[in-house]
Structure 1
Amino acid sequence: MPTSPLVLVTGPASSGKSEWAESLADQSRRRVIYIATAQRITTDPEWEAKIQAHQQRRPPNWQLWEIPQDLAPGLADAPADSCVLIDSLGTWVANHLTISDPAWEKLVQELLATLKELPAIKILVAEETGWGVIPAYPLGRLFRQRLGTLTRHIGIIADEVYLVTGGYVLPLHHLGMPLDSTQLLI
């Protein structure tokens, strides 16, 4: 295992992905920087409760960086001896749904380059959205396509990939092999 691995934790909603990612970060024995991509919505009690549940699970010594937009530049500031946990890619994608495809492609390339270069341990949480009904509206289809492709890009370069579903953690990096990334479009 590399000294600064890239780990992807993916799965459906409420599957335990964040909890698994948090346990991996805790096991790193490094200073943990928790990067929250969510934006607070004080008028949405359900969303606020979800954020609060995440906050209550985290150890008090973990640093919190709230980075809903500029993820690559924010990651670049992480110390080499840290463990960076990004929760979640789905929320980060949702925060960028209104930008053009060329601007999105640039953001993805910047993020991928930063993830490859950053010497810290990197743990990313991503939701699986493409296993259900095709969204009936264009913005939903754009979200599903962008998140699915981004997750695939990261999975291909990741050292470890876990699928959390049905109460189990499956180590995909041991069970499967990555697809050819040369044909992958953003």
Structure 2
Amino acid sequence: MALPRTLILGGARSGKSTRAEQLLAPYRDALYVATGGTRDGDREWAQRVALHRERRPGSWRTAETCDLVPVLADRADRAPVLIDCLALWLTAVMDECGAWDDAAWTGGAERAVQRRCDELAEAWRLTERQVVAVSNEVGMGVVPATAAGRRFRDTLGRLNMAVADASERVLLVVAGQVLTVKPSAG
């Protein structure tokens, strides 16, 4: 049985990445797409990345990229894909578009970010690959104190909704416990 398109949401350190890896564990060949980058000089980040790498099966391939549309559109590679994570992808997109700045946001960055989110959601909807994506659920926390923080939260919330809409299954991970938000049919 083919794995449905699955979105896994949760807070920071909730266990969502571990759950995503467990879903794809039966597959010898899987493509792990890491969207977080290296963050040179950040030792704590490097430790997180190392822990993720150690958990993954040695037979899995890793791609460190935020260019997700071609990965989802690739019909030649039949390996399942795990994207970790959409929040880090959005951070990179907002960086590229200069969307953290209020004047840039109203001056065109908002449209550019939305276009990229729409392209990703459409590629997710159209993919023929088995895919699991991890994303942060940011709508249940404290309201960010800055306009840029609220902009990120709101944009990620809309992206999560679009991807969830195009997914057969949506899971929420809270304290390592998995709750089914949208069950897969069949």
For the aligned pair, the TM-score class normalised by the smaller chain equals: 0.7 to 0.9
Question: Match of 2:20?
Answer: 21
Q: Give unpaired runs (5+ residues) of structure 2.
A: 98-108
1:4 to partner: Cα distance: 5.5
Question: Match of 1:122?
Answer: 131
| 1:105 and 2:114 correspond | yes
1:36 to partner: Cα distance: 0.4
* Aligned-partner residue type, residue 141 of structure 2: G
Q: Give unpaired runs (5+ residues) of structure 1.
A: 175-186
Mean CA deviation greater in 107-116 or 40-49? 107-116
User: Structure 2: how far apart are the matches of 1:142 and 1:58?
Assistant: 33
* Aligned-partner residue type, residue 10 of structure 1: L
| 1:75 and 2:72 correspond | yes
Question: Match of 2:174?
Answer: 165
User: Structure 1: how far apart are the matches of 2:123 and 2:77?
Assistant: 13
Matched residue SS, 2:30 = strand
1:4-83 alignment, distance < 5 Å: 5-27=4-26, 29=27, 31-68=29-66, 70-77=67-74, 79=76, 81-83=78-80
What TM-score, normalized by structure 2, do the two folds share?
0.86
1:31 to partner: Cα distance: 2.1
Q: Is the Cα–Cα contact under 8 Å of residues 86 and 134 in structure 2 kept in the other structure?
A: yes
Q: Aligned-pair RMSD on alpha carbons? A: 1.8
Could you give the per-residue CA deviations for residues 32-81 of structure 1, whole angstroms, max 9, x where no partner exists?
0000001101211111111111111111110101113x221233236452
What TM-score, normalized by structure 1, do the two folds share?
0.86
User: Structure 1: how far apart are the matches of 2:28 and 2:7?
Assistant: 18
Identity %: 35
* Aligned-partner residue type, residue 68 of structure 2: L
